[in-house]
Amino acid sequence: MAGVLRLIMGDQLSTSMSSLSDCNKEQDTILLAEVREEATYVKHHKKKIVLIFSAMRHFARALQEDGYKVVYRHYDDSDNQGSLLKEVQLATQQHQYDKVVVSFPGEYRLLKSMQQWQSQLGLTVEIRDDDRFIATLEHFKDWADGRKQWRMEYFYRDMRRYTGLLMEGDSPAGGKWNFDQDNRKAMPADVTPPKPYTVKPDNITQQVIDLVEHHFSDHMGSAVDFNYAVTREQALEVLEQFITERLGKFGDYQDAMREGNVWLFHSHLSFYLNCGLLLPMEVMKRAEQAYFNDDAPLNAVEGFIRQILGWREYVRGFYWHCMPTLQKDNYFEHSRQLPDFYWTGHTNMNCMRQCITDTRQHAYAHHIQRLMVVGNFSLLAGLAPEAVNAWYLQVYADAYEWVEMPNVSGMILFADGGKLASKPYVASGQYINRMSDYCKNCGYAVSKKTGKNACPFNYLYWDFIIKHRDKLTGNHRMGLIYKSLERMSDDTIEAMQEQAQQLLSSIDDA
């Protein structure tokens, strides 16, 4: 037997991967490769690259210590081939293998490439299901086929029944499937979130930091202050810190925003779930245990589990079910390019400045910052879906296309015309004011719809509602909004449209 070549990618850093399930330590070889093609197809944030490369190197070392044969290709190796295919080609030229085994990738473009590998290599290439996810792609397809609407809430309920999580017999714990109404509180000024988990870079991580600062100097952010977990052991510590210090108040304040504090009571586990250092079921069971041990309230635990079992599982199935058309969807026919402040954070809108600054500094912003501030502006300003998708994929360390594109094209931009969301997630400045303290230190007045210093979110919101009346008036969730529009004076409407056009023209002319 010549053995099997098993490729592990940077978002598959788990010994539970299907590609390793039958690995023979004596005969098989595991290949991990840091390649230019994957690091630069968009200009990923420096901290994202550090996280993935360092986690890959630590994972490879752990595999070697456990007796696996590992071939590891560093980014700056003189003979680095630059792409996954070419690295696999080189490995098969240097050693005879019976076949190549890989788990299902997280991006459509990569799957299409891998499906050609067998003919290109002249060798069997086996692409296995990624069984870290609870719902298979067939599971989602069976659920979606024949339904007029695909709503995450109903998929989530089926997943609760399927897994038994937070169930009491055939009924949901607490008598309700969803406690979202209890999870929308603004955070009082006297509530102080705990500090996030940090770890001092070891020699491996420091070498990666130096490499990234040298080879990716024109990418967003800085790598020098990187302090995230990069091993499974560290990721488990992040999980435990969340359960003991944050989960209790996560439910109440999961939609809140605070100036100068991006971490709040969120878990910060998406970094590690999405690259494989943590597994979804172990994370959810740990949270469920906290509820049954009376260590955390049900609204917090249910809300957290819904993010993983509901939303995370749902968007992964949605992505593969809707590709490749999802990447071209543009329901509102928006085409404006991104303003410069998406890269610099230099804007007088304090909410946008805070969220983009957080993103630049941490390669992270929590879900309401992404959806209801940056995403809200992206839709109201008519930014092109392709450009917005590229930005979100680039700047967040937990972003891979399977999770990024449904959230952006479906949830944020409504570019799919309502397959994912029941209405566009747009809001005026009043929502941001209610859920944050951003407006207190803003040069614009959130109370003003028009005129000098009026909040741009206010007039952009109504301009959007007016522009897309034909497409949205039939949406039952938009009825009250259009009734409010009907009560406005013509002068007010004209003033809002004129001010919106001035702002949008300034973006176009920049």
**Local confidence pLDDT in tens for the 510 residues of the chain:** 689 999 999 999 999 999 999 999 999 999 999 999 999 999 999 999 999 999 999 999 999 999 999 999 999 999 999 999 999 999 999 999 999 999 999 999 999 999 999 999 999 999 999 999 999 999 999 999 988 889 999 999 999 999 999 999 999 999 999 988 877 888 999 999 999 999 999 999 999 999 999 999 999 999 999 999 999 999 999 999 999 999 999 999 999 999 999 999 999 999 999 999 999 999 999 999 999 999 999 999 999 999 999 999 999 999 999 999 999 999 999 999 999 999 999 999 999 999 999 999 999 999 999 999 999 999 999 999 999 999 999 999 999 999 999 999 999 999 999 999 999 999 999 999 999 999 999 999 999 999 999 999 999 999 999 999 999 998 989 999 999 999 999 999 999 999 999 999 999 986
Decide: 212 and 264 in contact? Cβ < 8 Å: no
Decide: 85 and 117 in contact? Cβ < 8 Å: yes
Decide: 74 and 204 in contact? Cβ < 8 Å: no
Q: Any idea of the CA torsion for 93, 98, 104, 107, to the nearest 10 degrees?
A: 20
Domain ranges within the chain, ordered by starting residue: 4-128, 138-314, 341-509
Decide: 286 and 243 in contact? Cβ < 8 Å: yes
Level-2 CATH architecture, domain 138-314: Alpha Horseshoe (1.25)
Level-2 CATH architecture, domain 341-509: Orthogonal Bundle (1.10)
- Helical H segments across 103-231, by residue range: 108-114, 117-121, 137-144, 152-163, 203-215
pLDDT given at position 1: 62
Structure tokens given for 108: 């459509």
Please tell me the pTM assigned to this model: 0.96
Q: What is the DSSP string of 394-451?
A: HH-TT--HHHHHIIIIIIIS-TTSSSS-SS-----HHHHHHH-SGGGG-SSBTT-SSS
pLDDT given at position 49: 98
For domain 4-128, is the CATH number 3.40.50.720?
A: no
Per-residue HEC secondary structure of 282-338 comes to HHHHHHHHHHHCCCCCHHHHHHHHHHHHHHHHHHHHHHHHHCCHHHHCCCCCCCECC
Decide: 408 and 375 in contact? Cβ < 8 Å: yes
Residue with tokens 């490749």: 324
